[in-house]
Amino acid sequence: MSEAVLEVRGLTKSFRVRRAAAPGHESVVAVDHVSFSVPAGGSLAIVGESGSGKTTCARMIVGLERQSSGEIAVNGRTWPGGRLSHHERRRRGGLVQMVFQDPYLSLDRRQRVRDAIDESLRLHAGSLDKNGRRARVDELLDMVGLDTRQGAALPRALSGGQRQRVALARALAVEPRLLILDEAVAALDVSIQAQVLNLLADIREQTGLAYLFISHDLAVVRQICDDAVVLHRGRVVEDGPVEQILHAPDAEYTKRLVASVPRAGWRPQRRSSAAQAV
């Protein structure tokens, strides 16, 4: 078995929110004692509907949120749950990168594509000089399927799929061990989704990069992930190989998720007439 690049143990996150009908605040548990691991070069999905806690998990792993309790270990190093120093944030960023659903919001609208990728290299690849960075930018653009003209463009001149490729190239510039993809293809047309998913599969094969894929869509998860964790109201209700979850789900919540997947090309396991009668 491959060494785990990510281990999450008993991860919990609570938020204090103002009460609607009474004075004061109350505690709402968004993530409740969640545990999972991602092997080096592996691909795990966290699946659930909106509000299930999957994005909160991702934000804690990448360091954008502090966990209330539990441990997060990346590449064998356990990261503290409190405020990180500048050095710790950069070190964590060198191991874990995140690609968001809307790349237009995470890209500087005034910064050309090449400059955005070069900025990541300046921060995380200090051993490269200007010529080395230029060559690496060219390599990354080619890896994600963008040409010289697109590399010189501003984000507004690119399509949604091209902007997502830019966000991917910028994340890959750091050479992380783990890439978190938070609904990274949800806003794209189906045909563009397929292109980006194929690109992700090729990059994983070429680089051995591990993926943590956040999604509500089991049909998309099936194309890119080996295993999945199903979250419902912040708790893990099922986990295992994606094919097993799709064709023989155990939890009632997972069965409802599977029932919403388009049936083209595959048929989930049907419950027996006896089971339906119960």
Percent of the chain with pLDDT over 70: 88
- Helices 113-124 and 130-143, axial angle in degrees (round to 10): 120
For residue 43, name the pLDDT band (cuts at 50, 70, 90): very high
**What pLDDT sits at residue 243?**
92
> How far apart, in Å, do the first and last CA atoms of the chain sit?
41
Q: Report d(CA 133, CA 205) in Å as an integer.
A: 24
**What pLDDT sits at residue 128?**
84
Tell me the average pLDDT across 266-271: 45
- The domain segmentation of the chain, as residue ranges, is 4-261
**Strand bridging mode 178-182 / 43-47:** unpaired
Nearby residues of 235 by Cβ (< 8 Å), 6 or more positions away: 32, 33, 34, 53
Closest-CA residue to 146 (of 128, 170, 111, 181): 170
CATH classification number, 4-261, choose in 3.40.50.300, 1.10.3470.10, 3.40.50.11720, 3.40.1280.10: 3.40.50.300
pLDDT tens track for 76-131 = 888 766 666 667 777 777 889 999 888 778 888 899 999 999 999 988 877 788 99
Q: Report d(CA 249, CA 268) in Å as an integer.
A: 9
Q: Which two tokens stand for residue 127?
A: 């051993």
For residue 268, name the pLDDT band (cuts at 50, 70, 90): very low
Model pTM greater than 0.75? yes
